[in-house]
Amino acid sequence: MFLRFGYAVANVGLYGAWAIILIGHCITIPTAMAVSEIATNQRVEGGGEYYIISRSFGLHIGASIGVALFLSQSISVAFYLIAFAESFQPLFDWIHSATGLRIPDGRFVSVPALLILFLVLYFRGAGTGAAILYGIVLILFVSLAFFFAGHPENVPTRIPFQETVTNSDPFFKVFAIVFPAFTGMTAGVGLSGDLKNPRRSIPVGTMGATVIGMIVYFLVLYKLAANAPLSELASDQLIMSKISAWGPIIPIGLACATISSALGSIMVAPRTLQALANDRILIGDSLNRRLSAISRKTKEPVNALIVTLAIAMIFVLIGDVDIVAQIITMFFLITYGSLCMISFLEHFAADPAYRPSFRSRWWISLLGALMCFAMMFQISPLFAGLSALVMSMLYLAIVRSNPGQSGLTAIFQGAMFQLARQLQVILQK
């Protein structure tokens, strides 16, 4: 939001940026409703989205989605830390002007930040991380308040509802770069094992975060379009600091937003991998035992945390926030699309064992699935095809290594039975 919303307005116009918000939430709202529904179907334990999916739809389906989910969460850590390093650019500029010393790369910030987050969780546990989040969220609210209170002197004479900069980026590239801003709505699900009443907290928190986030995004985009020219929106990543009533609060807010998101992801990803290992999904009993192990002191899945660190470090070293954003967008879309499609099939199959207290609708889940798959092919047909192939191969490998577990076969059988029953009713009429 802090780094790329100005870029979005400049390249697709205000209407286009609002369209990205709407399309993104046509994906995240059905996903949030599907997750909320699944979470209220039965008792929820640790493992977050993977746990509730695998216990509702079977180990084969849950593990296939869980592996993609773990990778998206791990890469998200890198994405947020690269953005975190961007917030230090004003400080880098000041150091250069004051001392002549030039800091050549944001990785001088993002790599140490990743190691610090790892050490905090390794030695102190998720409780310390959650406590830090409260202070960070407060600063984030303050920074947004200063931004909305700002009144710059030189404002555009007209709002660029449709105007864009010359040689603007295509709509779907902008969507791929901006979409990760919408994916934080299920962060609390990943900490389901730490919630007192997850069957209530998950639906309320997930839906609340999704709706409030959407409203804030609409307002931020309008404020940007109304208070800065397109050329500055396109060229200045920290344009919000020039609009804000107090400029320095925006880099501070950016730092807080990104470090809190990175902290949330690095807390959640190891728990997903640990839950996969607990179910003996990974290759080899020794590997499963190691990755399911927890620290006696902090109760953290330390070995899974180390794997998360390694994956995140690879993408932190890439150092380009736009490249990493497009990668994790594909991972999130395949994960959310699979989740919505399974939710749709479960609705259609009318399984009597599927009785959640929070009810969505089959057509909402179908809409979410179709939107995910359509956007994947619009962004990159090659990567979309590869993602579908990898997910299919992963599912078949899990089926082969874990025979006797329920999977897509049972859901499709139920769906076909219901379809045949409906056709019989129609023919009789």
* Domains of the chain listed by start with CATH number: 5-428 (1.20.1740.10)
Predicted confidence at residue 14, as pLDDT, reads 93
What distance in Å separates the CA atoms of residue 47 and residue 51, rounded to the nearest whole number? 5
Angle at alpha carbon of residue 303, lines to 300 and 309, rounded to 5°: 95
What's the average model confidence in pLDDT over 148-174? 85
170 DSSP assignment: P
Q: Evaluate whether 205 touches 129 at the Cβ level (below 8 Å).
A: no
- Summarize pLDDT for 55-83 with one digit per residue, the tens: 777 788 888 888 888 998 899 999 999 98
Greater confidence (151 vs 404) lies with 151
Higher local confidence (pLDDT), 136 or 249 = 249
Q: What is the pLDDT of residue 303?
A: 92
pLDDT value of position 330? 87
For residue 18, give every residue at least 6 positions away whose Cβ sits within 8 Å of its Cβ, in sequence order, or none: 218, 221
Judged against a pLDDT cut of 60, whether residue 406 lies above it is answered with: no
Mean pLDDT of the 118-145 span = 78
Strands (E), 120-262: none
Q: Which band of pLDDT confidence, cut at 50, 70 and 90, is reported for residue 127?
A: low
The radius of gyration of the chain's CA atoms, rounded to the nearest angstrom, is 22
Segment 15-40 shows an average pLDDT of 88
Q: Is the pLDDT of residue 15 over 60?
A: yes
Output the pLDDT for position 215.
92
Q: How confident is the model at residue 19 (pLDDT cuts 50, 70, 90)?
A: very high
The pLDDT of residue 312 is 95
Q: Is the pLDDT of residue 12 over 90?
A: yes
* Mean pLDDT of the chain, nearest integer: 83
Mean pLDDT within 215-225: 92
Q: In the structure, what pLDDT confidence band is assigned to residue 414 with cuts at 50, 70 and 90?
A: low
pLDDT of 363 over the 80 cut: yes
Q: What is the mean pLDDT of residues 256-274?
A: 87
* Residues ≥6 apart with Cβ < 8 Å to 343: 34, 37, 38, 360, 365
Tally Cβ neighbours within 10 Å of residue 182: 24
Least confident interval from 234-243, 317-326, 393-402: 393-402
Give the range among 10-14, 258-262, 305-309, 364-368 with minimum mean pLDDT: 258-262
DSSP character at residue 422: H
Res 344 pLDDT > 90: no
DSSP 352-381: TT---SS---HHHHHHHHHHHHHHHHHH-H
Contact 160, 9 (CB under 8 A): yes
pLDDT bin (cut points 50, 70, 90) of residue 405 is low
Of 166, 154, 146, whose CA–CA distance to 229 is shortest? 154
Among residues 150, 163, 162, 159, the alpha carbon closest in space to that of 226 is found at 159
Mean pLDDT, residues 267-271:
88
